[in-house]
Amino acid sequence: MEQNGTKENGRSEETPAPGPPQPVHIQDIRFTKIFIDNKWVQSSRGRTFATFNPATGCKLCEVEEADEEDVDKAVAAAKAAGRRGSAWQRMDACSRGKLLHRLADLVERDRLLLATVETLDTGKPFLQSLFIDLDGSIKTLRYYAGWSDKIHGKSLRVDESFMSITKHEPVGVCGAIIPWNFPLLMFMWKIAPALSCGNTVVVKPAEQTPLTALHMGSLIKEAGFPAGVVNIVPGFGPTAGAAIANHMDIDKVAFTGSTETGQLIQTAAAKSNLKRVTLELGGKNPCIVFADCDLQLAVEDTQTGAFYNQGQCCTAASRVFVEESIHDQFVRLSIENAKKIVVGDPLDPLTSHGPQIDQQQFDKIMDLIESGKEEGARLEYGGTPVSNKSLFIQPTIFSGVKDHMRIAKEEIFGPVQCIFSFQSQEEAVRRANSSRYGLVSAIFTSSMDRALSVSAALETGTVWINCYNSLHAQTPFGGYKMSGIGRELGEYALAEYTEVKAVTLKLKEAV
């Protein structure tokens, strides 16, 4: 995977090689309370929940559980911090950018600790946490720090009697509900554009992976953000998440997660105060591999797309359409490549494949693998748990997959690569588009004419040509169809966090 220019298991030129990760003990995890108004507080109802290391099954710590009453307090703090005349609203735009840069500096300072905690909480390999998630988080903060003093409107001369100007103003209090697969990176994708535009934020991290988000609370306070600008409420979807979606004083919700939950959030937003929504949802992403491609590149990139983060990505390359003349060779090379994947302890730098996040996700993946066997797909590699008492699943390859099969239609969110064959470009595009999802797609070909023609025909928000998972802070990200609403990242995300106000002036009549 490539995130902001850094290759998986590789180092960017400006990043020094780190030493081996230091063990993080339970007593070293300091931030486990709710973060409201720059203070660490306990749950209103005195409840806590456990977070576990999915690689070992061991409990890491207990975290304070926020519910509706805690969300109310967080929203009140955010609303007060965003009022006209508050320290945050009086701050000039350049100073907002300086705060975001300062926060990025602190993340860089703590990057080894944050990467280690991210690996403990999610099970993703340490080098991926360090060189993908942390690099992407820092670059996202710095990108939006640069935008803070460049958000402006236009002057519009209507006629001799009137002139209009437009202003881009903060939306207000923004709720951010983030997923468990990229908890730190998604935290940045939400707060960086929101703060750049002058909003205040209430963040609910996923209950499976709250620890890096809570550590960010300490850095936000240390950076000097005014109290109440960012609030963090760890808790569960049906309680804390629902409270955010339904809250009458939250003006916008940004959510990353499943399509089904996104539908619930959009319904709640409509039934409450018609708050804005940005939804980054599921994907069943097609890759089209033409016979004239660089075959080894296509094998490696599509497989990285399928197996990265144990397949727990909305961008997972889960439908690979290969031109018939190279299909058998592609399958053979894919099997050879999969055999090189190192499954093991996520803190071991040699490991490239960790566990699934929890038992529920593990069971869902294994059920879909069994359905693939039963429906007639050919299991070419993997398809079994690594052991009877763990959440590790072998990287799995199916060939001979047909469009009607469950593994061809449902989002697996696990390490399963489905390989199809096709005969014509028209057929490949038609089948690629035959999904309710439209998040990302990829094309592998040496013909730029073909690549541009096919990219125009694909119904996805992102199309990668001869690459995969190339995500950058400058480039907008979001989906067509049931893969979501709105865009994150890039200049386009700023529109999701501002209201446009038109002011019209009556001019004196010309002499």
Give the catalytic positions in this structure: 280
CB distance 169 to 498 below 8 Å: yes
**Orientation of helix 93-109 relative to helix 111-122, angle to 10°:** 70
HSE at residue 189, side-chain half, CA atoms within 13 A, is: 33
CA distances from 331 to 374, 395, 419 (A): 20, 14, 8
Q: Which of 314, 297, 65 is closest to 182 using CA atoms?
A: 314
Give the Cα separation of 254 and 153 in Å (integer): 24
Instruction: Give me the residues paired with residue 353 across strands.
Output: 343
Phi/psi of residue 510, nearest 5 degrees = -65, 145
Name residues whose C-beta falls within 8 Å of residue 470's C-beta, 6 or more positions apart in sequence.
Answer: 2, 464
Helix, strand or coil, per DSSP, at residue 285: coil
CB distance 178 to 206 below 8 Å: yes
Task: Please tell me the total number of residues recorded for the chain in this structure.
Answer: 511
Cβ count near 404 (within 10 Å): 8
Give the Cα separation of 404 and 421 in Å (integer): 14
- Written as one string, the DSSP assignment of 180-216 is SSSHHHHHHHHHHHHHHTT-EEEEE--TTS-HHHHHH
- Written as one string, the DSSP assignment of 307-336 is HGGGG--TT---EEEEEGGGHHHHHHHHHH
Helix, strand or coil, per DSSP, at residue 473: coil
Cα angle 96, 98, 102; round to 5 = 120
Give the Cα separation of 59 and 52 in Å (integer): 4
Q: Which of 106, 104, 258 is closest to 180 using CA atoms?
A: 258
Amino acid at 165: I
CA distances from 288 to 136, 308, 320 (A): 27, 19, 6
Amino acid at 40: W
Phi/psi of residue 280, nearest 5 degrees = -110, 105
Q: Which of 124, 236, 228 is closest to 184 using CA atoms?
A: 124
Give the Cα separation of 284 and 305 in Å (integer): 12
